[in-house]
Amino acid sequence: MADDINNNGLANKLDEVKALAFAQQVIEFNWFSLDAPFDKYLKVFAEEFDANGIPDTVRLHVHQGEGESRDETIASTAAFYTCGDGSGSGTTVSWDVNNNGNINVADTELVRRFCRNFRVFGWHDARRSQPSI
C-alpha cells in the first residue's frame, strides 16, 4: 500500500507501482540487516546547482552504524549527475553497490535507475544544494 508518494495530490495505483519498484531497488543494493542490530541504512539526497528547480545530482550514502548519520558511519557512496539538458542522461559514479563482489555495469545501472526514480517522486526541494531526506 502506498500513499501519494509522487506528490501529485492523488493516492492511486501509480503510487503503488512506483513504491513497489523503488522498494525492490532498495533491496537490490543488498544493504540491510535481517537481524539486530539494524544499523545499515541508505541516505538519499538531491542537490541543485543551476537554479532551475530540478536537482542536478542525486547522492547515495550507504551508512553502517547507530545514531545520526555522520562521516564515520559512511560505508560507501554513489551518485548520479544529470546532464541538465532534460534528456535524463548523465554520469553515474558507483562502486560495488549491490555487494556481489563485482564492480560492473549492474552497479552503474542500479544507481542510475534508483536516482532517476528518486527524482520522479519529487522528494526534494528546489533550494540550491540542500539535502532532501
Residue 128 pLDDT level (bands cut at 50, 70, 90): very low
Residue 4 located in a structural domain = no
- Asked if the structure places residue 68 within a domain, the reply is yes
Confirm whether 75 is domain-assigned. Answer: yes
* Model pTM score: 0.78
What is the extent of the structural domain holding 21? 13-121
Cβ neighbours for 81, distance < 8 A, ≥ 6 positions apart: 56, 57, 90, 91, 92, 93
The count of domains in the chain is: 1
CA distance 57 to 36: 33
Give the pLDDT score at 133: 46
Domain for residue 1, yes or no?
Answer: no
Please say whether the beta carbons of 70 and 86 come within 8 A. no
Percentage, residues of the chain above pLDDT 70 = 88
Q: What is the pLDDT of residues 69-119, one digit of tens each?
A: 888 889 889 999 987 665 667 888 888 998 899 999 999 999 999 988 888
Residue at 51 is within a domain: yes
Count of alpha carbons within 13 angstroms of residue 85, beta-carbon side? 5
**pLDDT at 48 > cutoff 70:** yes
pLDDT band at 37 (very low <50, low <70, confident <90, very high): confident
